[in-house]
Amino acid sequence: MSKKLFIETLGCAMNSRDSEHIIAQLREKEGYETTDDLKSADLILINTCSVREKPVAKLFSELGVFNKKKKEGAKIGVCGCTASHLGDEIIKRAPYVSFVLGARNVSKITDVLHKDKAVEVDINYDESEFAFNDFRTSPYKAYINISIGCDKSCTYCIVPKTRGDEISIPSELILREAQKAVNTGAKELFLLGQNVNNYGRRFSGEHERVNFTELLRRLSKIDALERIRFTSPHPFHMDNEFIEEFAKNPKICKSMHIPLQSGSNKVLKDMKRGYTKEWFLNRVEKLKNICPDVSLSTDIIVAFPGECDEDFQDTLDVVRRVKFDQIFSFKYSPRPETEAEHFTNVVDEDVASFRLTTLQNLHTEILDEKNLTHLDKIYNVYFEDLNQGYFVSGRSDNNLVIKVKGSDELLGQFRDVKITQIGRTILTGEIVG
């Protein structure tokens, strides 16, 4: 009988892909199969995120629960960004944890499994050319890492400390992985990196210097591949060549996540983001001019130290002008080993809450207005999920989530869908072609 692995994944798409790599290695080398039943698991893993404070506190309470519920002899391992940042402190605080595996050390999963109390969290470890075994949660789309780490020094962000310096994965490896995924049925690629459009700046060995735009061109030549998505581009690296390729290449989905963080030049400077409000708006304008149907999403942090009401109004101004289709908004959360941790001009908690609500309410208004424009429109949907047995959902090219009545026969298919009902997060429609 195979051994059972229970894995919980928190955080971003990068972490989801790391979990797929962990599962792949454990399946091939150790004979594990995944399970949703914690109590029957031989190995319990939490793949953690440390980008904000709350998830860290939650980790220890969750570990306690897992330890109580686990079956006799089962091991618990902590992986991911919090593993990188807390290291052996995790075992000190929760001695029943068997090993700690950092976000930059995923390939060592089969080693740490056999060493009691192993802590592998070296952020200089180079996994950029490691050939992971194959495993994908979805047969329809393939997540592919194109770089590891992050070279920026945003003053609020812990990621450079958990994932180390940025190294691009050689383009020939990415192309090979993409081709393999397409050969086994994936029609969509989702490229992952902290700053995807900074791709090609540094490789670990001698490799052809291919930039992100060229990588997109080469990937789009794969026959039978229909769609390419990626996350996240950095506003600073949005040059014209990249925007033009994005607009004219029919395989690149017309939706983009561009993290704004703040609309105030003063705050952007304090965050060390490397661009201004005007540059951000200029890039969006260029994008919308040549690609009018593009859908845009973003990340915004409110109440960064020193953010005054005028700064916050600048953020609202950008939101009003860009009319993002989706906003991930957060209250600033001080993180260890970051520059901003030492900033003293902290914004009051009630002001922070008020700003977050104001931003979210404004966005809801924008969305309600935008959503009306989708009614009766026809979108080409790639169906990926079966919900409650009788709804099938998928995404349009411009990233709208759309469901129709139907069965699993639709999964993996592209269909034209006319929108009949609108909702804030999901649209309903009927197949028309």
Interface residues with ligand SF4 (CB under 6 A) are: 11-12, 14-15, 49-51, 80-81, 103, 159, 162-163
CB burial readout 224-240, b (16+ within 10 A) else e = ebbbbbbbbbbbbbbee
Using the rule CB under 6 A, give the single segment among 136-144, 188-196, 330-338, 394-402 that binds ligand 5AD. 330-338
Q: Considering beta carbons, is residue 14 or 112 the nearer one to ligand SF4?
A: 14
Q: Whole-angstrom Cα distance, residue 268 to residue 329?
A: 16
Place of tokens 């304090």: 270
Q: Whole-angstrom Cα distance, residue 59 to residue 37?
A: 19
The item of ligand 5AD, ligand SF4, none sharing an interface with residue 156, based on CB under 5 to 8 Å by kind, is ligand 5AD
Sheet bearing 255-257, strands edge to edge: 255-257, 295-302, 326-331
Residue 296 in contact with ligand 5AD, rule: CB under 6 A: no
Sheet bearing 227-231, strands edge to edge: 141-145, 188-192, 227-231
The item of ligand SF4, ligand 5AD, none sharing an interface with residue 162, based on CB under 5 to 8 Å by kind, is ligand SF4
Q: Considering beta carbons, is residue 9 or 264 the nearer one to ligand SF4?
A: 9
Residue 192 in contact with ligand 5AD, rule: CB under 6 A: no
Minimum Å gap between C-beta 166 and ligand 5AD is 16
Q: Considering beta carbons, is residue 43 or 356 the nearer one to ligand 5AD?
A: 356
Q: Considering beta carbons, is residue 49 or 178 the nearer one to ligand SF4?
A: 49
The item of ligand 5AD, ligand SF4, none sharing an interface with residue 107, based on CB under 5 to 8 Å by kind, is none
Q: Whole-angstrom Cα distance, residue 181 to residue 430?
A: 30
Main-chain dihedrals φ then ψ at residue 403, nearest 5 degrees = -120, 150
Using the rule CB under 6 A, give the single segment among 121-129, 131-139, 329-337, 393-401 that binds ligand 5AD. 329-337
**427-431 and 414-421: which strand pairing?**
antiparallel
Using the rule CB under 6 A, give the single segment among 173-181, 282-290, 332-340, 397-405 that binds ligand 5AD. 332-340
For residue 31, count other CB atoms closer than 10 A to its CB. 10
Q: Is 119 exposed, middle or buried (0-12, 13-18, 19+ CB in 10 A)?
A: buried
**378-387 and 414-421: which strand pairing?**
antiparallel
Q: Whole-angstrom Cα distance, residue 289 to residue 283?
A: 10
Nearest to 184 by CA among 134, 228, 250, 253: 134
Q: Whole-angstrom Cα distance, residue 362 to residue 371?
A: 14
How distant, in Å, are the alpha carbons of 136, 239, 253, 268 from that of 280?
Answer: 35, 11, 21, 11
- For residue 73, the SS3 value is coil
The item of ligand SF4, ligand 5AD, none sharing an interface with residue 259, based on CB under 5 to 8 Å by kind, is ligand 5AD
Minimum Å gap between C-beta 233 and ligand 5AD is 12
Q: Considering beta carbons, is residue 62 or 245 the nearer one to ligand SF4?
A: 62
Minimum Å gap between C-beta 254 and ligand SF4 is 25
Minimum Å gap between C-beta 80 and ligand SF4 is 6
DSSP one-letter code for 50:
-
The item of ligand 5AD, ligand SF4, none sharing an interface with residue 335, based on CB under 5 to 8 Å by kind, is ligand 5AD
User: What part of residues 254-283 is at the interface with ligand 5AD (CB under 6 A)?
Assistant: 259, 261
Residue 335 in contact with ligand 5AD, rule: CB under 6 A: yes
Q: Where are the alpha helices (DSSP H) in 123-272?
A: 159-163, 171-183, 212-219, 240-248, 265-271
The residue with its CB nearest to ligand SF4 is 11
Minimum Å gap between C-beta 143 and ligand SF4 is 13
By CB under 6 A, name the one of 28, 126, 244, 299 that touches ligand 5AD.
299
Residue 333 in contact with ligand 5AD, rule: CB under 6 A: yes
Q: Whole-angstrom Cα distance, residue 105 to residue 102?
A: 5
Minimum Å gap between C-beta 341 and ligand 5AD is 9
By CB under 6 A, name the one of 5, 51, 144, 148 that touches ligand 5AD.
51
Minimum Å gap between C-beta 11 and ligand 5AD is 8
**Per-residue mark of binding to ligand 5AD, 117-156 (x: CB under 6 A):** ---------------------------------------x
| 7: Cβ contacts below 8 Å, ≥ 6 apart | 19, 22, 23, 34, 44, 45, 46, 47
Residue 323 in contact with ligand 5AD, rule: CB under 6 A: no
Residues that bind ligand 5AD (CB under 6 A): 51-52, 156-157, 259, 261, 299, 301, 330, 332-333, 335
